[in-house]
Amino acid sequence: MNKDSFSAAALPTLAAAHFLDDTDISTGELKTLLELATAVKQAPADYRRSLVGRSIALLFEKPSLRTRMTFELAALQLGAGAVFQDHRGERIGEREPARDIARNLDRWFDAIVARTFSHQTLEELARWSSAPVINALSGSSHPCQALADFQTIGERFGELEGLKIAYIGDGNNVAHSLLLCAARLGVSFTFSGARGFEPDSATMRRAAELAAVGGATIAVEPEAQAAVRGAAVVYTDTWTSMGWEQETQQRRIAFADYQVTDELMAAARPDAVFMHCLPALRGQEVSDSVIESDRSVVFDQAENRLHAQKALLLMLLAGR
Which residues, other chains included, contact 2 with Cβ-Cβ below 8 Å and sequence gap of 6+?
35
Residues facing residue 50 across a β-bridge: none
Tell me whether residue 119 is one of the annotated catalytic residues: no
Tell me whether residue 115 is one of the annotated catalytic residues: yes
Report CA-CA distances (Å) from 81 to 24, 51, 66, 136, 205: 25, 9, 18, 17, 40
Which residues, other chains included, contact 252 with Cβ-Cβ below 8 Å and sequence gap of 6+?
239, 284
The amino acid present at 219, given as its one-letter code, is A
Give the separation between CA 232 and CA 219, rounded to whole angstroms.
15
Give the separation between CA 186 and CA 161, rounded to whole angstroms.
4
Give the separation between CA 49 and CA 28, rounded to whole angstroms.
26
- Residue 108, judged by CB atoms within 10 A of its CB (0-12, 13-18, 19+), counts as exposed
Q: Which of 54, 68, 87, 142 is catalytic?
A: 142
Q: Residues 154, 297: contact at Cβ < 8 Å?
A: no
As a residue count, the chain comes to: 320
Dihedrals phi, psi of 253, to nearest 5 degrees: -70, -45
Tell me whether residue 144 is one of the annotated catalytic residues: no
Tell me whether residue 107 is one of the annotated catalytic residues: no
Q: Which of 77, 106, 144, 145 is catalytic?
A: 145
Tell me whether residue 277 is one of the annotated catalytic residues: yes
Give the separation between CA 41 and CA 33, rounded to whole angstroms.
12
Q: Which of 22, 184, 251, 277 is catalytic?
A: 277
Q: Which of 115, 176, 276, 307 is catalytic?
A: 115
Tell me whether residue 24 is one of the annotated catalytic residues: no
Q: Which of 18, 66, 305, 307 is catalytic?
A: 305
Q: Which residues of 169-186 are buried (b: 16+ CB within 10 A; e: fewer)?
A: bbbbbbbbbbbbbbbbbb
Q: Residues 210, 202: contact at Cβ < 8 Å?
A: no
Q: Which of 289, 200, 277 is nearest to 233 (CA)?
A: 277
The residues assigned a catalytic role are 115, 142, 145, 237, 277, 305
